[in-house]
Amino acid sequence: MSTTHLRWQKIINELRYLYGELDFTQEMAKAAGPEFQKYYEEYCRRNNIDLAALNSQNQEKLSGLFGEDPLLEDDIVDETGMVESEEEDSEEFNKLMEEAAEIETENEVHKAFCRVFKKLAFHFHPDMIPKNLTREEKDDRMKTFKKALQALEERRYFILIDLADKYGVETPTNYKQQIKWMRKEATQVGEMISKDKRSYNYLFSECETDAERDKIISGYMMQVFGFSA
């Protein structure tokens, strides 16, 4: 095995770890949101701060910082129901393939993994799935296909590589191009992790004492309103 191939494996492992860390920090921040809000309201009550009046007086500023409804997009969850017939299987598959065709292909690395996705899609086509599989097994195949499409959209190529290994699909060998792209991606993901870990929700989730929580709330109010209790 060449050193180039080994460096390729190394950067894939790094990206796999970084994306796992990114997913974790985002999940932590989201889970801490309601806890932060509840503690924030209690903090204001303890310090005789009229939170409703404060928000009303600073509505324009708050809207500029956070938008009118910052949780709206997070509330949209794709909960596709189970497919009930093979005809509907084919319709859903074709729809997802149309989505895949619309994905932008601005670089050679992405084009290479688009080809990997198309080869994987062959294994998940409803006509290629054994007829003796149960409905649950067929649904699992469709979920895996959606996972592959999402990986392509988000450029999480290591997921496509894992699926390609599982289903015997050849992966791109333009290792030097991939290494260059993946190193840049690793830097960007690392920056996203650092940014998320600096968010008030995440910082709040790391607190172990009320004194630490009060400090976070105080810092939040100073940044947003220009004062703290």
Please list, residue by residue across 11-46, b when 16 or more beta carbons sit within 10 angstroms of its beta carbon and e when fewer do.
bbebbeebbebeeebbebbeebbeebeebbeebbee
The mean pLDDT of 191-208, rounded to a whole number, is 96
Structure tokens given for 41? 């309201």
Structure confidence at residue 104 (pLDDT): 53
Res. 193: pLDDT tops 90: yes
d(CA 12, CA 2): 16
pLDDT tens-digit series, residues 89-98: 677 777 777 7
What mean pLDDT, rounded, does the chain reach? 85
Strand segments (E) across the chain: none
pLDDT in tens, 97-112: 776 666 655 688 999 9
More confident site: 164 or 1: 164
Q: CA separation (Å) from 78 to 73, 120, 146, 169?
A: 11, 22, 11, 28
pLDDT at 24: 97
Task: Round to whole Å and give the CA distance between 98 and 117.
Answer: 13
Give the C-alpha separation, 26 to 196, whole Å. 7
Indicate whether 53 pLDDT > 50. Answer: yes
Q: What is the pLDDT of residue 83?
A: 36
Question: Residue 91's pLDDT is what?
Answer: 75
